[in-house]
DNA sequence: CTGAAAGCGCTAACAT
DNA sequence: ATGTTAGCGCTTTCAG
């Protein structure tokens, strides 16, 4: 991509003034001779000058008008995850009020493309890392930049500002709700626990080895109240989905309900999975199964029956991220989620 | 945001080599004395050097590792529109394969924040403008940058590469489908036609004054086949929604069905509106009304009954955008949409 | 394999 | 109101 060879100097020469004056025409038009105020844009247009070069201005002024965002895996995948989109929305909302741009970095290499290079070359004021697996190499590359960092959802390194939602507490609320309703056989469908594209049952070993803290926390938040209520592990079967999609949720539920028809309720780690799962339950004549989602995406309230779920305040999350990034307010924050009881939970039928 | 005062030179001085050599350590590690290869990173770490400054490198090398994206209105709003998200997903997918970042610019000023400034300061290789209203001032600011531009969906200025989906054709397919089914009283719910936050009936005058070409094209694509079939304007009432949300669709349908209970079918300019509208129709006991959406978002196929809609190939759209931006392939393209008949359309009940 | 020279295009003090 | 001076931090020929 080549740019014009016309620079401030070109305009200055043509006008017989100094470069500084032309620069002022762009940056401080108020303190400029009225005559020049017209002439500068005119000659600029005539000569094909497209305004001060953004990169040069950045170098000189040191200002950075954007913040970098790095998500897990393919960037395009982040857009398919409603919860991720909700987060981006919240973050973008905070940024745009400050006039900042959001630089979304490729989250995954391809061919000769390397993520660390993209990280190294990002002209940004700081980085927000969303849901990176623990021990990610990309995290190291970001840390190497020496810019402000905020980690969202995961991982919690201890070394950097962390902002997240108390996942364990949210899961606990969901599990306790079902328990109070009288359920004793409660399945669960969880989003990836580790970056290995695994779909299938979650054993105790797999839970222990989980590298995604969010999933780990939710699994525990579900499990502990059930254990406390004396429910044996066999009555709390859990399935992992590598993808957060409607299809994945549906497949997990088909499997769960086929292998354990006695289940009366299912917990999900996202509304997306829950919605797909509900659909599958209905299709196999098990509309009676109680369902609790997680996130409270807009569809949750609108579909029929509306989904009981755990609400996460993404707008607040986004705001906090930016504050942490810019204000240097490096206190880590855990936002408390909330149970929203709607139409998909009821006492067990039997 | 201040950076370190440590530069390449600092490392060079400490090591007793030239700046160039240190630069090579970062950019061409292969052609470097093995001894130095270890020492440079070591002293860098020791001195707190965080690697070559991104802005300076950009200025010097002229490379731009990101592309700018500008959407209408608040950036955070774009994330609430499933069709916009689908587009971003497609575009991001194309970008990340090239290792490029996506710089999302604030789409709306706030306080002293000005969108044109953000546009002027973006360090990018080109701009993609998504669904801007005709005559947008921001478009001028982008044009002033003199970088490659691609316009998506709207506006079609003629002066720049345009990539979009043939909206009129898509709408036509939807209308003809209903006609073939035997419907003769067909309402429509359309997303904004003009940037004035209007919610209400669309008169012929309002249609004529529409500044959003996409809406204009869809309105025409619906209207013309109906006219050709001899259906009078009274039997094709249309409502405009300022927002593309489930709620807006629901409100529009309540209004439409209250004022014209004789309608047997409703066309929508998005699946989001259609889903909200279907819900409203059902709530007021009019589940019999046939519904056609637009976009084919993932939910469309998964909800029950699955939505009849017009499919747009967003991945293809995103790919074409990038090609146009980088390859300089400035031929405008119109992708042809496709009717997907599913469960929400049937012959009129009466 | 390493260094010296020569800017990339601009802005910020500080004069005038 | 405009000019002068002095780089921002880096990469890139081109020599050695």
- Give the residue ranges with Cβ < 7 A from strand C: A 3, 5, 7-9, 19-20, 23, 26-27, 51-53, 56-57, 59-61; B 16-21, 24, 31-33, 35-36, 56, 59-60
3-state SS assignment for residue A307? coil
Q: Which residue has the higher pLDDT, B248 or A59?
A: B248
For each successive 10 residues of chain A (350 residues), what is the average pLDDT?
Answer: 67 88 87 83 88 90 91 91 93 93 92 90 94 88 92 87 94 98 98 94 96 93 98 97 94 97 97 95 96 94 92 92 83 92 92
What is the token pair recorded at B241? 């929604």
Which nucleotide comes closest to B49 if you measure CA to C1'? D9
pLDDT tens figures, B121-139: 999 999 999 988 878 889 9
Judge: A105–B101 Cβ closer than 8 Å, yes or no.
Answer: yes
Largest Cα separation within chain A, whole Å, is 91
Sign of the CA dihedral A128, A103, A134, A215? positive
So what's the pLDDT on residue B350? 64
What is the C-alpha separation between B247 and B272, in angstroms, rounded? 9
CB burial of B148-159 (b: ≥16 within 10 Å; e: otherwise) equals: bbbbbbbbbbee
Residue A50 sits at the vertex; the CA angle it makes with A45 and A55, to the nearest 5 degrees, is 160
Residue whose CA is minimally distant from C5 C1': B20
**Span B278-315, pLDDT tens digits:** 999 999 999 999 999 999 998 899 888 999 999 999 98
Count CB pairs under 8 A between chains A and B.
Answer: 217
Between CA A189 and CA A253 the distance in angstroms is 8
Residue nearest to nucleotide D13 (CA to C1'): B20
Residues facing B191 on adjacent strands: B241
Q: Which of B121, B319, B326 to mutate to test the interface with A (most CBs of A within 10 A)?
A: B121
- For chain A, say whether B64 makes contact (Cβ under 8 Å): yes
- Cβ-nearest to B120 among A54, A102, A125: A54
Q: Which residues of A touch B108 (CB under 8 A)?
A: 96
Q: Specify which of A82-86, A177-181, B140-144, B163-167 reaches the highest per-range mean pLDDT.
A: A177-181
| Residue B3 beta carbon within 7 A of nucleic strand D | yes
Assign A290 to helix, strand or coil.
strand
Cα atoms in the 13 Å half-sphere on the side-chain side of B119 = 26
Query: Is A17 within 7 A of strand D by CB distance?
Result: yes
By CA distance, what is B245's nearest residue in A? A298
pLDDT of residue A111: 87
Q: Which residue of A has its CA nearest to B110?
A: A97
| Nearest-CA distance A200 → chain B (Å) | 22
A positions 248-287 inside 8 Å of B (CB): 250, 275-276, 279, 282
In this prediction, residues B141-165 reach a mean pLDDT of 90
Q: How far is B45 from chain A (nearest CA, A)?
A: 9
Interface touch B106/A126, C-beta < 8 Å: no
Cα of first residue to Cα of last residue in chain A, in angstroms, is 68
> How far is C-alpha A239 from the chain's CA centre?
23
Q: What is the pLDDT of residue B327?
A: 79
What pLDDT is recorded for position A72?
86
Classify A220 as helix, strand or coil.
Answer: helix
CA of A61 to C1' of C13 (A): 13
| pLDDT for B1 | 28
Q: Is the model's pLDDT at B203 over the cut of 90?
A: yes
pLDDT at A2: 35
Q: State which nucleotides on strand D lie below 7 Å from a protein beta carbon.
A: 1-5, 7-13
Q: Is A57 on the interface with B (CB under 8 A)?
A: yes
Q: Contact at 8 Å (CB) between B91 and B150? A: no
The whole-number pLDDT of residue A29 equals 82
State how far the Cα of A239 lies from the Cα of A253, in Å rounded to an integer.
Answer: 8
CA distance A96 to chain B (A): 5
Identify the pLDDT of residue A1: 28
Across the interface, whether the CB atoms of A303 and B111 are under 8 A apart is answered no
HEC readout, chain B: CCCCCCCHHHHHHHHCCCHHHHHHHHHCCCCCCHHHHHHHHHHHHHHCCCCCCHHHHHHHHCCCCEEEEEECCCHHHHCCCHHHHHHHHHHHHHHHHCCCEEEECCCCCECCECHHHHHHHCCCCCEEEECCCCCCHHHHHHHHCCCCEEEECCCCCCCCEEEEECHHHHHHHHHHHHHHHCCCCEEEEEECCCCCCCCEECCHHHHHCCCCHHHHHHHHHHHHHHHHCCCCHHHCCEEEECCCCHHHHHHHHHHHHHHCCCCCEEEECCHHHHHHHHHHHHHCCCCCCEEECCECCHHHHHCCCCCEEEECCHHHHHHHHHHHHHHCCCCCEEECCEEECCCCCCCCCC
Mean pLDDT rounded to a whole number for chain B: 92
Q: How far is CA B62 from CA A2, A49, B171, B196, in A?
A: 8, 17, 44, 41
């Amino acid at each position: 991509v080549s740019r014009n060879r016309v620079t401030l100097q070109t305009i200055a020469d043509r006008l017989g003034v100094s470069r500084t004056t032309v620069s002022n025409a762009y940056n401080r038009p108020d303190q400029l001779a009225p005559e020049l105020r017209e002439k500068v844009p005119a000659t600029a247009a005539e000569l094909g000058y497209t305004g001060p070069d953004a990169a040069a201005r950045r170098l000189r002024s040191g200002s950075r008008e954007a913040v970098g965002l790095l998500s897990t895996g393919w960037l395009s995948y982040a857009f398919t995850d409603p919860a991720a989109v909700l987060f981006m929305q919240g973050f973008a909302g905070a940024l745009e009020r400050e006039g900042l741009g959001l630089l979304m970095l490729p989250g995954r290499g391809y061919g000769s493309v390397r993520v660390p290079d993209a990280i190294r070359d990002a002209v940004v004021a700081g980085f927000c890392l969303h849901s990176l697996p623990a021990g990610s190499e990309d995290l190291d590359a970001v840390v190497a930049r020496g810019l402000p960092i905020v980690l969202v959802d995961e991982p919690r390194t201890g070394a950097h500002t962390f902002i997240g939602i108390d996942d364990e507490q949210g899961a606990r609320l969901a599990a306790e709700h079902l328990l109070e309703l009288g359920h004793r056989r409660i399945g669960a469908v969880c989003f990836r626990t580790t970056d290995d594209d695994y779909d299938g049952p979650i054993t105790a070993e797999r839970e222990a080895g989980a590298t995604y803290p969010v999933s780990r926390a939710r699994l525990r938040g579900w499990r502990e109240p059930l254990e406390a209520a004396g429910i044996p592990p066999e009555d709390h079967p859990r399935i992992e989905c590598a993808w957060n999609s409607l299809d994945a949720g549906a497949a997990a539920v088909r499997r769960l309900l086929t292998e354990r028809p006695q289940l009366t309720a299912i917990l999900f780690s996202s509304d997306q999975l829950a919605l797909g799962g509900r659909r599958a339950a209905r299709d196999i004549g098990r509309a009676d199964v109680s369902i609790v989602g997680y996130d409270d995406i807009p569809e949750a309230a609108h579909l029929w029956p509306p989904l009981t779920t755990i609400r996460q305040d993404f707008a607040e999350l986004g705001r906090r991220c930016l504050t942490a990034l810019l204000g240097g307010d490096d206190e880590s924050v855990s936002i408390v989620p909330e149970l929203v009881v709607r139409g998909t939970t009821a006492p067990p039928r039997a």
